[in-house]
Chains A and B, each alone.
Chain A
Amino acid sequence: MASTSSTKSVVVDRYAVGARINHWVTAISFILLALSGLAFFTPSLYFLTGLFGGGQLARTLHPWIGVVLFISFSGLFVRFWKANLWNADDSAWMSKLPDVVAGHEERLPEIGKYNAGQKLVFWGMALLILVLFATGLVIWQQYFGASSSIDQQRVALLIHAAAAVGTILIWIVHVYAAIWVRGTIQAMTRGNVTGGWGWRHHRKWLREEVQKGEVKAQPAE
């Protein structure tokens, strides 16, 4: 039996096409926001406004892209918030962070669809995007310049900048984890992962998918 199974491999669907489109709209908006936002954040990166057609256009577009991101991320939030609720496995996983960083996954508890790190990325982004949207409206000079006091706008600017740095840090963790853990990116491109990826990183989730009969044999290349 073992000899037959070793010749086969299985794949598991992880993200439906709607979730993937939702993710990539958010991702592209995020990158455009980071590029234009960093241009306003520090003069040494002001040249990035050139990507948007100059300073005036970058200033015009940045808040609108922010609106797109806020709506798009709200979609991701509705899709994924339940799967990101904290549970006992997550606390156990967090207590073994050195093993996580070293890649000793055999020493970690079996986990569901998301591990604690992914959940922290999710909730961190959710919180900071809410903060960025709220403070962003306060400093949207063109439409809301007269809606708050200058003192409030100063505080909003500082919080907006700090929260933006926070999201960029989380984004680095998110992107790096996807690169470091090989086989992850295809979840957001083709929508599935290999059974082995599920076994290694999200075994509890794999077991659930197997129970549901969602695990298929690898289609011929």
Chain B
Amino acid sequence: MATMELVRRSASSSPAFQPGAQEVAKLIDVSKCIGCKACQAACLEWNDLREEVGFNDGTLNNPHDLTPASFTVMRFTEWENAATGNLEFLIRKDGCMHCSDPGCLKACPAPGAIVQYSNGIVDFDHDKCIGCGYCVKGCPFNIPRISKADNKAYKCTLCSDRVAVGQGPACAKACPTKAISFGTKQEMKDLADKRINDLKSRGYGQAGLYDPPGVNGTHVMYVLHHNDRPSLYAGLPDNPKISTVVELWKGVAKYAGLAFIGLAAVGAAVHHMVAGPNRVSSEDEENAARLKEKA
């Protein structure tokens, strides 16, 4: 599991993600989460982060959103299930999904500031980050945050430093109900299957695994009791994919733009070679002088 071979870097020509033999994943079983925020505390602890003291906005969300210092945050949703008449308390641990096709990496203009390892982890290299915020626009999950302190982008690293030495992420370690598991992607899918079968047997017919194909799957996956409606869980995208606008900007716009600029420059040079300089003749000068004299 400790393979951290680099397979892809931002702003560099590199092939699409080919999972290595040790593709890893974190599985978040929403149905087992009790909302204790131990994962948030463990994340701050391991990454040596301090969140500012906030305020209570009347919900359990604290902090209210991801920040440069909070790579993960529990999002609480109260949902009235019309079918059963139950009030359901849906809690989702939000954070980077570590997409196989990462929008942040696609949008990033700084070579190597965002990297993807063969195990699927997408990581930011802060020495190379320029703080432009393009990753924020590229991400289909609204995850990266730009620090006001150093103008660099921050997000969950999937504890790449721990994974590199054979350990699981800090959040998974801290979770008291084992709602967060970590292992190879296949192990996590197998585990998810067991959980989904259990949930289905207990009345959650739409239980399923959230591993969205629009981004070629993710390396953080959810077990959702309502997998038919992911957006119930504080706006988890139903069909996440890299925005068409971003694809256009980083695709056809880039190549067509450079081609037009190149053609214009070459066209100007060719025109000069063919037409030659447009010079003022001595007749023109004489005509002008005569015009002045007549006046």
Contact = CB atoms under 8 A, between A and B. Distances in A.
Interface of A: 1-2, 5-6, 8-10, 39-43, 46, 49, 54-56, 58-60, 101-103, 105, 139, 141-142, 145, 150-151, 153-155, 157-158, 161-162, 164-165, 168-169, 172-173, 176, 179-183, 194-200, 206-207, 210-211, 213, 215, 217
A59 B132 contact: yes
A40 B287 contact: no
B292 A172 contact: no
A150 B272 CA distance: 45
Contacts of A155: 245
Contact of B291 (A154, A165, A207): A207
Contacts of A157: 134, 137, 245-246, 249
A194 B288 CA distance: 9
Interface stretch (B17-25, B186-194, B259-267): B259-267
A203 B118 CA distance: 69
B287 A196 contact: yes
A194 B280 contact: yes
Given A39-B109, A172-B265, 14 more contacts: A40-B109, A55-B130, A102-B275, A151-B245, A153-B137, A157-B134, A161-B254, A169-B264, A176-B271, A180-B277, A194-B280, A197-B284, A207-B291, A210-B291
B261 A165 contact: yes
B142 interface: yes
B280 A183 contact: yes
A141 B107 CA distance: 14
A215 B279 CA distance: 20
B197 interface: no
Contacts of A169: 260-261, 264
B257 A180 contact: no
Contacts of A58: 130
B142 A195 contact: no
A150 B287 contact: no
Contacts of B268: 172-173, 176, 180
Contact of A199 (B110, B130, B272, B288): B288
B292 A141 contact: no
Contacts of A173: 264, 268
**Interface majority SS on A: helix, strand, loop or mixed?**
helix
B285 interface: yes
Nearest to B276: A103
B281 interface: yes
Contact of B275 (A2, A41, A101): A101
A161 to B, nearest CB: 6
A65 to B, nearest CB: 15
Contacts of A168: 261, 264
Contacts of B264: 168-169, 172-173
Given A194-B288, A200-B280, A200-B284, A5 B293 contact: yes
A55 B110 contact: yes
Nearest to B253: A161
Nearest to B152: A56
B236 interface: no
Contacts of A139: 133, 137
Given A6-B286, A196-B282, A150 B257 contact: no
A183 B260 CA distance: 28
A10 B290 CA distance: 9
A153 B128 CA distance: 23
A210 B292 contact: yes
A210 to B, nearest CB: 5
Contacts of B111: 43, 46
A182 B271 contact: no
Contacts of A182: 277-280
B137 A213 contact: no
A183 B278 CA distance: 9
A46 B137 contact: no
B130 to A, nearest CB: 3
Contacts of A195: 284-285, 288-289, 291-292
B271 A180 contact: yes
Contacts of B137: 139, 150, 153-154, 157
